[in-house]
Amino acid sequence: MDKVTLSVIVPMYNEEEVIPETYKRLKNVLDGLNESYEIIFINDGSRDRTGEMLLKICESDYNTKLIDFARNFGHQIAITAGMDYAAGDCMVIIDGDLQDPPELIPDMMELWRQGYDVVYGKRKARKGETFFKKFTAKAFYRILRSLTDINIPVDTGDFRLIDRRVCEALKQLPERSRYVRGLMSWVGFKQTAIEFERSERFAGETKYPLKKMLKLAMDGIMSFSYKPLKLSSWVGSLLSLFSFLYLIEVLLQKLLFPHTAQSGWASLIAVSLFFNGITLLMLGIIGEYVGRIYEEAKGRPLYIVSELKNMEERKGPRFNITQRQNKKD
Ligand code: UDP
Ligand code: MG
């Protein structure tokens, strides 16, 4: 494998508008470093011209590599693939839309040289994002923190530098519903933060619609805490206790005052709706965990690569690449 000091991992999903600028700014910073480096782009099943554009860049620049996914597997899986293939002694994970400034990389490397294994970017401010996104993100990081025992830093995305050791440790974690920044806290090592202002997206719009954001949030909580399950057993026990006490009261009333007219309908409906609601909610929580167990049990590979560029000799640790034999080059 080639000797590389720094691998920069950039996931790309329908990002044709930002690719030239991202490449230019990354190149600028990396050339100034005086280090051997590689840029690994992951094309996460884009439907626009992202794939072609990245391939073109790779053809003119051997330090730029491409992992082309067979379909959209999602951001967290894309960065996992990047780490699987990266050859660097350290690696930087950075968004492709220039919301994370590449100019921070030299400072991150400086901290890495001082002995830190993980240097994560902490968002001081977020520009160009809706109030809703900022608010939900802030709330989510804090809820997650209160639910888990491990120390997952708040207001921190996937923009970070990690040492090879951390990457190797992460490769040992085979789980499917990956919340990568949580896994990185889980493996430990010496970590430090570097603050930055998160700028606006250079162009295009977010590739994280509400649905994907919710899935990421659920993955974060479900993979790092079973407190929701504990909560459901607590609520269950409390409600059973109250119901039992109330049952005794109802029975006593019936025995002691058998002829009093009891107004039944409204209270029956209320009790039934309330308990059914709670039961379904708890079932849903259990369902979330069962679904995740099912996902793990299937043991499918995390992603399928359809093509590698400029690193065909490297083997992904989890599967064999399906290369087409009849391809005209
Ligand atoms: N991304 C990806 N696969 C996806 C969604 C997003 O590889 O299914 C990439 C995207 O191209 C970008 C990064 O993940 O480089 C972060 O996505 P985005 O900027 O849309 O998220 P936001 O910053 O709005 O949270
Ligand atoms: Mg973004």
What is the 13 CA–ligand 1 centroid distance (Å)? 6
Per-residue pLDDT at 140 exceeds 70: yes
What are the tokens at 200? 């606006």
> Any idea which of 33-37, 95-99, 271-275 has the lowest mean pLDDT?
271-275
0.85 exceeded by the pTM? no
Q: Tell me how far CA of residue 321 lies from CA of 16, 38, 324, in angstroms.
A: 25, 21, 10
Structure confidence by residue, pLDDT tens digits, 27-73: 999 998 888 999 999 999 999 999 999 999 999 998 999 999 989 99
Report the DSSP beta bridge partners of residue 126: 198
95: left (phi over 0), alpha (psi -120 to 50) or beta: beta
CB 102 near ligand 1, within 6 Å: no
For atom 16 of ligand 1, the residue with the nearest CA is 95
What is the 200 CA–ligand 2 centroid distance (Å)? 8
108 touches 25 (CB < 8 A): no
> Any idea which of 24-33, 118-127, 164-173, 308-317 has the lowest mean pLDDT?
308-317
CB 12 near ligand 1, within 6 Å: yes
Q: How many residues does the chain have?
A: 329
Please state the domain extents for the chain: 4-225+301-309, 227-298
Q: Tell me how far CA of residue 285 lies from CA of 114, 150, 179, 272, in angstroms.
A: 44, 21, 18, 20
Per-residue pLDDT at 232 exceeds 90: no
CB 99 near ligand 1, within 6 Å: yes
Residue 149's identity, in one-letter code, is D
* 3-state SS assignment for residue 124: strand
For residues 160 and 2, the model is more confident at 160
Per-residue pLDDT at 320 exceeds 50: no
Ligand 1 atom with least separation from CA of 78: 7
What is the 1 CA–ligand 1 centroid distance (Å)? 29
Helices (H), 41-173: 50-60, 75-85, 105-113, 131-147, 164-171
Ligand 1 atom with least separation from CA of 207: 20
Q: So what's the pLDDT on residue 218?
A: 85
What are the tokens at 41? 């782009």
Q: So what's the pLDDT on residue 327?
A: 55
What are the tokens at 226? 């079973």
125 touches 198 (CB < 8 A): yes
* 3-state SS assignment for residue 15: coil
Pairing of strands 4-12, 37-43: parallel
Q: So what's the pLDDT on residue 220?
A: 83
First to last CA, the chain: 25
Please state the CATH superfamily assignment of the domain spanning residues 4-225+301-309 in this structure: Spore Coat Polysaccharide Biosynthesis Protein SpsA; Chain A (3.90.550.10)
102 touches 25 (CB < 8 A): yes
214 touches 133 (CB < 8 A): no
